[in-house]
Amino acid sequence: MSIDSKTFYQRVVSDWLCVDVVGAKLGGKVLSCSDEWFAAAENLISPGEPIRDKTRFTYAGAWYDGWETRRHNEEPYDWVIMRLGPVAARIAGCEVDTAFFDGNHAPAISVDAIYSDSDDLDENDKKWQEVIGKNECGPSTKQFFINDKLTSDRFTHVKLKMYPDGGIARLRLFGRVEPPLKLESTTDLASSLNGGVAIDRSDQHFGSADNLLLPGRGKDMSDGWETKRSRVKGHTDWVVVQLGKQSRRIDKIVVDTAHFRGNFPQFVKVEGTGPSGSLELVPLTKTGPDKEHKFDIGKDYQIDTVKLTLVPDGGVKRLRVFGL
């Protein structure tokens, strides 16, 4: 089913607690494809918005920031097989962006999925299941396709089918990451790889709030969360993160301002909310540039969500909530 972007993100992020499980920034990887003559399939999962340079040509033809196959495909469809970034996820829907593909865009797509311990997958394996039905696509536009509910099965790999050929700039595949059922050692409960989701925020003008929950410390300011400059006295910015599971204990919190050197927040504070209500985890604390700010907690707290507040605004690279 095709819906508008606002309804799509409300349902998959806020209601179903999903993230883009195939994106390169979360560890997704393109494994194989039927064809990529004009533009490489790995572009599909690039984190940035697609761009266009009409003056740029390659040996194959005009350069495109996306995946584009040859004309006149004799098979019913072209395909790309990708491994998800998380260990496994239940699939909700996808965003297909055909930006700048006009006259050569994909007429339609569908998505299959499979659970496998190996990356050595056969495109014709009978175990592939359709998780997003065939939907028509338009030229140079974002389209949003969603299921009635999350898949009951968990999957590790997906196959994007493009009917019959053409170009797609980006694929964002949303799924619910399910954390380990039992944690034996302290784990980052906020990590997207463990089911953490940024469910609400005040602003994300320069950088998306969901970047806070990515693995690693990133490469530059582009893969962190950054808000607009505030002009109002007393202003604060904030983000609310749903943890992958309710904690039994919170050991440590890390607020990392890596790469934010002239635009880090002056102060931060962190609060948690659980069955017993709200509590302060990190009091209002002065921050510095390009630094991991570590706060030892070491208490048995039942927490479902955490709220990071910036005073007054600025950029933060990562938020870690270590616990059980």
Domain boundaries, the chain: 2-177, 187-323
Position 314, amino acid: G
* Residue 106: Cβ-neighbour burial (10 angstroms; 0-12, 13-18, 19+): buried
Give the helix/strand (H/E) hosting 5: helix 5-9
CA–CA separation, 130 vs 121, rounded Å? 16
Are 306 and 252 a contacting pair, CB within 8 Å? no
Q: Which residues contact 54 (CB under 8 A, 6 or more apart)?
A: 62
**How many CA atoms, within 13 angstroms, populate the side-chain half-sphere of residue 226?**
18
The terminus-to-terminus CA distance of the chain in angstroms comes to: 38
Q: What is the pLDDT of residue 77?
A: 98
Sign, Cα dihedral of 298, 324, 305, 288: positive
Q: Do domains 2-177 and 187-323 have the same CATH topology?
A: yes
Sheet holding 237-242, edge to edge: 197-201, 237-242, 305-311, 267-274, 277-286
Q: What is the pLDDT of residue 24?
A: 97
Q: What is the pLDDT of residue 70?
A: 98
The architecture in CATH of the region 2-177 reads Sandwich (2.60)
Q: What is the pLDDT of residue 265?
A: 98
The architecture in CATH of the region 187-323 reads Sandwich (2.60)
What's CA 142's distance to the chain center, in Å?
16
Q: What is the pLDDT of residue 1?
A: 84
pTM here is 0.94
**How many CA atoms, within 13 angstroms, populate the side-chain half-sphere of residue 224?**
24
174-219 tens-digit pLDDT = 999 987 656 778 999 999 999 999 999 999 999 999 999 999 999 9
Position 37, amino acid: W
Q: Which residues of the chain have pLDDT under 70?
A: 180-182
Give the number of other CB atoms < 10 A from CB of residue 115.
Answer: 12
121-164 tens-digit pLDDT = 999 999 999 999 999 999 999 999 999 999 999 999 999 999 99
